[in-house]
Structure 1
Amino acid sequence: MHGIRQTGPLTTQKSERRGLLVDLTPLRSSPPFARLWFGSSISGIGSQLTLVAVGLQIYDITHSTFAVALVGVVSLLPMIVAGLYGGMLADAFDRRLVAILAAVVAWLATAAIVTQAFLGLENTVLLYALSTISAVAATIIATSRAAIIPRLLPTELLPAASALNGISIGIQLTLGPALAGVLVAAVGFPATYTVDLVLFAAAFLGIFSLPAIKPEGETQRPGLESLLFGMRFLKKSPNIRMTFIVDIIAMTFGQPRVLYPVVGAVLIGGGAVTVGVLTASFAVGALLCSLVSGRLGHVRRQGAAVSIAIGAYGACILGFGVVLLVAQLGGHRGVGSLTAGFTSANLVALLFAAIALAGAGAADNVSSIFRSTILQSAAPDAMRGRLQGVFTVVVTGGPRVGDLFVGLLAAAGTVWPPLLGGALIIALIGLLARFQPSFRNYDAAHPTP
Structure 2
Amino acid sequence: MRLDTTPLRESRDFRLLFVAGTVFYFGAMVSYVAIPYQLYTETGSNFAVGALGIVELVPLLFFGLYGGALADHVDRRRMLIWTAVAQVVLTGVLAANAFAEDPQVWLIYVVGGLHAAASAMQRPSKEALEPRTVRHDQIAAANALSSFGMQIGLLVGPAVGGLLVASVGIGWCFVVDVSGLLVATTLFVVLRPYPHAGETTPPSLQGIGEGIRYAVGRRDLLGTYLVDIAAMLMAMPVVLFPALAADVFARPELLGMLYSAETVGAIAATATSGWASRVHHHGRAVVIAALCYGAAIALMGVAPNLYVAAVLLACAGAADMVSGIFRSTIWNQTIPDGMRGRLAGIEMLSYSVGPLGGQTRAGLVADAWSVRASITSGGILCVVGVAATAAWLRDFWSYDSRTDEHAVAERAAREAAAQPPQP
Q: Same fold (TM over 0.5)?
A: yes
Structure 2 letter corresponding to 1:305: A
Is residue 193 of structure 2 the alignment partner of residue 236 of structure 1?
A: no
Q: Which residue of 1 aligns with 2:356?
A: 400
Q: Which residue of 1 aligns with 2:381?
A: 424
Aligned with 1:280 (options 260, 279, 284): 260
Q: Which residue of 1 aligns with 2:347?
A: 391
After superposition, the C-alpha distances for 1:77-126 in whole angstroms (9 at most, x for unaligned) are 32111111111111001000111111122222322333333337676655
Relative to 1, partners in 2 of residues 1:175 and 1:248: Cα closer, same or farther, differing over 3 Å?
A: same
Structure 1 letter corresponding to 2:9: R
Q: Please give the residue correspondences for 1:65-214 in structure 2 after superposition, counting only pairs within 5 Å.
A: 68-119=49-100, 126-214=107-195
Give the TM-score taking structure 2 as reference length.
0.86
After superposition, the C-alpha distances for 1:395-426 in whole angstroms (9 at most, x for unaligned) are 24432333443454554455454333222211
Structure 2 letter corresponding to 1:282: E
Q: Is the 8 A contact 1:177 1:280 kept in 2?
A: no
Q: Which residue of 1 aligns with 2:201?
A: 220
Q: Is the 8 A contact 2:144 2:273 kept in 1?
A: yes
Aligned with 1:446 (options 403, 409, 418): 403
* Alignment partners' CA distance in 1, 2:259 and 2:159: 8
Relative to 1, partners in 2 of residues 1:360 and 1:126: Cα closer, same or farther, differing over 3 Å?
A: farther
* Alignment partners' CA distance in 2, 1:194 and 1:207: 20
Aligned with 2:226 (options 221, 245, 254): 245
After superposition, the C-alpha distances for 1:335-371 in whole angstroms (9 at most, x for unaligned) are xxxxxxxxxxxxx62x333322211211111011100
* Alignment partners' CA distance in 2, 1:434 and 1:164: 31
Aligned with 2:392 (options 412, 432, 435): 435
Q: Is the 8 A contact 2:152 2:267 kept in 1?
A: yes
Q: Is the 8 A contact 1:178 1:276 kept in 2?
A: no
Moved more, 212-221 or 79-88: 212-221
Q: Which residue of 1 aligns with 2:29?
A: 48
Q: Which residue of 2 aligns with 1:332?
A: none
Q: Which residue of 1 aligns with 2:289?
A: 309
Q: Is the 8 A contact 1:56 1:261 kept in 2?
A: no
Q: Please give the residue correspondences for 1:237-386 in structure 2 after superposition, counting only pairs within 5 Å.
A: 237-260=218-241, 274=254, 276-323=256-303, 349=306, 351-386=307-342
After superposition, the C-alpha distances for 1:197-229 in whole angstroms (9 at most, x for unaligned) are 222223212211212222222211111121122
Structure 1 letter corresponding to 2:152: I
Moved more, 307-316 or 413-422: 413-422
Q: Is the 8 A contact 1:309 1:366 kept in 2?
A: yes
Relative to 1, partners in 2 of residues 1:222 and 1:316: Cα closer, same or farther, differing over 3 Å?
A: same
* Alignment partners' CA distance in 2, 1:66 and 1:259: 17
Relative to 1, partners in 2 of residues 1:308 and 1:224: Cα closer, same or farther, differing over 3 Å?
A: same
Q: CA-atom RMSD, angstroms?
A: 2.7
Q: Is the 8 A contact 1:178 1:277 kept in 2?
A: no
Structure 1 letter corresponding to 2:211: G
Aligned with 2:8 (options 3, 27, 30): 27
5+ long unaligned stretches in structure 1: 1-19, 327-347
Q: Which residue of 2 aligns with 1:331?
A: none
Relative to 1, partners in 2 of residues 1:113 and 1:277: Cα closer, same or farther, differing over 3 Å?
A: farther
Structure 1 letter corresponding to 2:375: P
Deviation at 1:290, TM superposition (A): 0.6
Q: Is the 8 A contact 1:88 1:223 kept in 2?
A: yes
Secondary structure of the residue aligned to 2:302 is helix
Moved more, 211-220 or 433-442: 211-220
* Alignment partners' CA distance in 1, 2:108 and 2:234: 26
Structure 1 letter corresponding to 2:118: A
Moved more, 214-223 or 402-411: 402-411
Deviation at 1:64, TM superposition (A): 6.7
Deviation at 1:270, TM superposition (A): 7.3
5+ long unaligned stretches in structure 2: 407-423
Q: Is the 8 A contact 2:237 2:362 kept in 1?
A: yes
* Alignment partners' CA distance in 2, 1:33 and 1:238: 30
Relative to 1, partners in 2 of residues 1:441 and 1:86: Cα closer, same or farther, differing over 3 Å?
A: same
Relative to 1, partners in 2 of residues 1:416 and 1:103: Cα closer, same or farther, differing over 3 Å?
A: farther
Secondary structure of the residue aligned to 1:444 is coil
* Alignment partners' CA distance in 2, 1:73 and 1:417: 24
Relative to 1, partners in 2 of residues 1:269 and 1:94: Cα closer, same or farther, differing over 3 Å?
A: farther
Give the TM-score taking structure 1 as reference length.
0.82
Q: Is the 8 A contact 2:226 2:389 kept in 1?
A: no
Structure 2 letter corresponding to 1:316: A
Deviation at 1:379, TM superposition (A): 0.8
* Alignment partners' CA distance in 1, 2:364 and 2:37: 19
